[in-house]
Every structure is written in C-alpha cells, then in structure tokens.
Amino acid sequence: MNLIHKQKTFFPSLIDNYFNQEWDFNIPNYNSLPAVNIKELDTQFDIHLAVPGMKKSDFEIEVDNGLLSISSSTNDKEIAEEEFTRHEFSFNSFKRTFTIPDSVDPTKVDACYSNGVLQLTLPKRKEALPQPKKLIKIK
C-alpha cells in the first residue's frame, strides 16, 4: 500500500521502474549507536546522548576502573508481534564506553534524562580545577 502515488514519466523505461520501486527488505540496523556530544568546562565534563523514545529505567550507567559505560537493553518482542504495513524504526540495545580522565571525581557523576536526551555531568576533582593566578614577590 502506497500513500504517495508515483507520477507517470513521459518516457517510461525499464531502468526507471527498476530503481524507483520499493524494496521491502527487512535488514536490521546494527550500527545504531546514539549520537553523543562531549563538552569540557572549567569545573566539569558534560556528556549528552541522543536517545529518544526511552524511559529512565531503560538505562544502566556505571563507572569502573576509569571507564564510564552507558548501556540500554530493550525488548522488541511486543513490537515484533504486531503486524505493520511498514516497519522502519526499532529500539535497539546499545553500549557506549568512554575513558574518563583522572581529573574526574567518579563518586559525583550525575545523570538526568529529559526530552530524549541523556545528560551526564562528570565534575572535576578539586585539585584539577583551575587555580587563580598567584603573584610572587621578588625578595
């Protein structure tokens, strides 16, 4: 079933018909890691992942041995049982791992999920914060 009708060309050709027809291959998309933005500020690192259509409970975030792991595993069984005329999107599982620098305090990592964006804040240790200039007097 097509919602948009193809307009007839003036000179129909076999090649045009071959390349313009819809092929309904059900090929899973294995390269579906969420896009990420990382920003370093003076006091912290901000990590934003684009993961729309999920719930807070779908995520697992852990820090271990200098690695930050963000993962999500969803169950597509309910969606797979439904019959669709066309099915193009799915909620795939993913795992992203980042090496965090020694300047980050792993005990104070914070996460927030809002409007399809997972936001993580990785505050820097007090020793790693920029120090104010110190004037040294000459004796």
- Model confidence, pTM: 0.66
**Of 120, 100, 125, which Cα lies nearest the Cα of 37?**
120
Instruction: Please report whether residue 111 resides in a domain.
Output: yes
DSSP β-bridge partners for residue 121:
46, 110
Instruction: Please report whether residue 72 resides in a domain.
Output: yes
Instruction: Please report whether residue 16 resides in a domain.
Output: no
Domain at 113, CATH number: 2.60.40.790
In the chain, how many domains are there? Answer: 1
Cα 5 to Cα 2, 21, 22, 61, 64, distances in angstroms: 7, 11, 12, 47, 55
Instruction: Please report whether residue 14 resides in a domain.
Output: no
Domain that holds residue 90: 35-128
Neighbouring residues of 68: CB distance < 8 A, sequence distance ≥ 6? 47, 61, 62, 97, 98, 99, 100, 109, 120, 122
Instruction: Please write the tens of the pLDDT for every residue from 11-42.
Output: 555 555 555 555 555 555 555 788 999 999 98
Instruction: Please write the tens of the pLDDT for every residue from 48-98.
Output: 999 988 889 889 999 999 999 999 987 655 556 677 777 676 667 889 999
Instruction: Please report whether residue 44 resides in a domain.
Output: yes
Instruction: Please report whether residue 139 resides in a domain.
Output: no
Instruction: Please report whether residue 20 resides in a domain.
Output: no
Cα 44 to Cα 6, 102, 124, 128, distances in angstroms: 53, 12, 5, 10
Structure tokens at 50: 């684009």
Instruction: Please report whether residue 3 resides in a domain.
Output: no
Cα 55 to Cα 3, 38, 93, distances in angstroms: 32, 22, 13
